[in-house]
């Protein structure tokens, strides 16, 4: 099977640095997978942007994160569709693979290394569904 040039260069990789603007909410999915979600707010000259982030099967340390914590997130963007009240709606969110406190130089270095490894290899993790 041959791979087109466009497929070779396609990548879904995002790094967000900001502040958790909501407390983490964790629930267990019917499959048994743990899902933690929260919002990360970033600031720029254009103003503040809030990005929803989901993290599948996060490590236990994720429970120590709270609103107001400065974090960096490595992941991929996905758009999912679902039905509610008889209507189909969508949400765009970041599926986090790694989350690091901005105050932890060691955790940030691991996140940075993982991001550069993906960029160097040209391969980004596909968002989980």
Is 95 a domain residue?
yes
pLDDT of residue 31: 94
Q: Quick one: DSSP state of residue 110?
A: H
pTM of this prediction?
A: 0.77
CATH number, domain of 75, equals 2.40.50.140
What's the pLDDT score for residue 125? 54
pLDDT in tens, 45-70: 989 999 999 999 999 888 899 999 99
Determine the Cα–Cα distance for residues 110 and 98; give it in Å rounded to an integer: 9
Number of independent structural domains in the chain:
1
What the block records as the tokens of 127 is 């968002």
What digits encode the pLDDT tens for the residues 77-102? 999 898 889 999 999 999 999 898 88
Average pLDDT over residues 31-39: 94
Residue 23 domain flag? yes
Report yes or no on 61 lying in a domain.
yes
Structural domain containing residue 56? 12-120
């Amino acid at each position: 099977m041959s791979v087109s040039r466009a497929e070779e260069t396609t990548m879904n990789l995002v790094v967000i640095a900001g502040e958790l603007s909501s407390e983490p909410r964790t629930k267990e999915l019917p499959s048994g997978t743990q899902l933690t979600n929260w919002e990360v707010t970033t600031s720029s000259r254009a103003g503040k942007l809030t990005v929803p982030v989901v993290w599948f099967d996060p490590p236990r340390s994720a429970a120590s994160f709270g609103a107001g914590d400065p974090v960096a997130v490595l992941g991929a963007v996905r758009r999912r569709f679902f039905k509610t009240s008889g209507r189909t709606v969508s949400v765009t969110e970041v599926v986090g693979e790694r989350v690091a406190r901005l105050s932890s130089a060691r955790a940030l270095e691991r996140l940075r290394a993982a991001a550069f490894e993906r960029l160097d290899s040209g391969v980004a993790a596909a968002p989980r569904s």
